[in-house]
Amino acid sequence: MTNPLERILLADDDVEYRSAIANALFSYDVDLALNANEAIEKTKNNMYALIILDNNMEDGYGDSGIYAIEQIRRFDTKTPIFLHTADLTDYIKNSALRLGANDVFSKMISVRELKEKIKSCKTARLDHQSSLILRNTQLR
């Protein structure tokens, strides 16, 4: 069974981009989704350390990464979500953050920067889990 702390969901309709990012993140188990609805369904049925969503996915329904964030946050408030987009605006960034994204960035991000963001997110999550365990131990 795959370790959920090493599993990332990457949702993007651009096959070449999705493949390049998945290959760059070879040290993780990367699960792929083609659109927002597929990402939502996969999140309902699997545990991930991180969800990375493209904002502009062509799925025939006009659903976007922002739509996926809103839907995912209805049943999963804990898993970190990153939104990336080719056309980053303040409106997109503010909307995504308001709905529960942990980070929003341009698709022009370097692989090194993306890996740093993932590592930072993972470290923050582990630190949070450790503090909860410590607090629960102290309460006993």
The 10s digit of each residue's pLDDT in 14-59 is: 999 999 999 999 999 999 999 999 999 999 999 999 999 999 987 6
Write down the pLDDT at residue 8: 96
> How far is it, in rounded angstroms, from Cα 115 to Cα 128?
20
- Report pLDDT digits (tens) over 107-133: 999 999 999 999 888 766 654 444 545
Task: Give the pTM.
Answer: 0.85
At 53 the three-state DSSP class reads: strand
- Structural domain boundaries enclosing 11: 4-139
Alpha helices in 12-106 (DSSP H): 15-24, 36-45, 65-72, 90-99
11: pLDDT strictly greater than 90: yes
For 90, phi then psi, to 5°, come to: -60, -35
User: Total domain count for the chain?
Assistant: 1
More confident site: 79 or 122: 79
Q: What share of the chain is helix, strand, coil (3-state, %, to 5)?
A: 50, 15, 35
At 74 the three-state DSSP class reads: coil
Residue 14, domain CATH: 3.40.50.2300
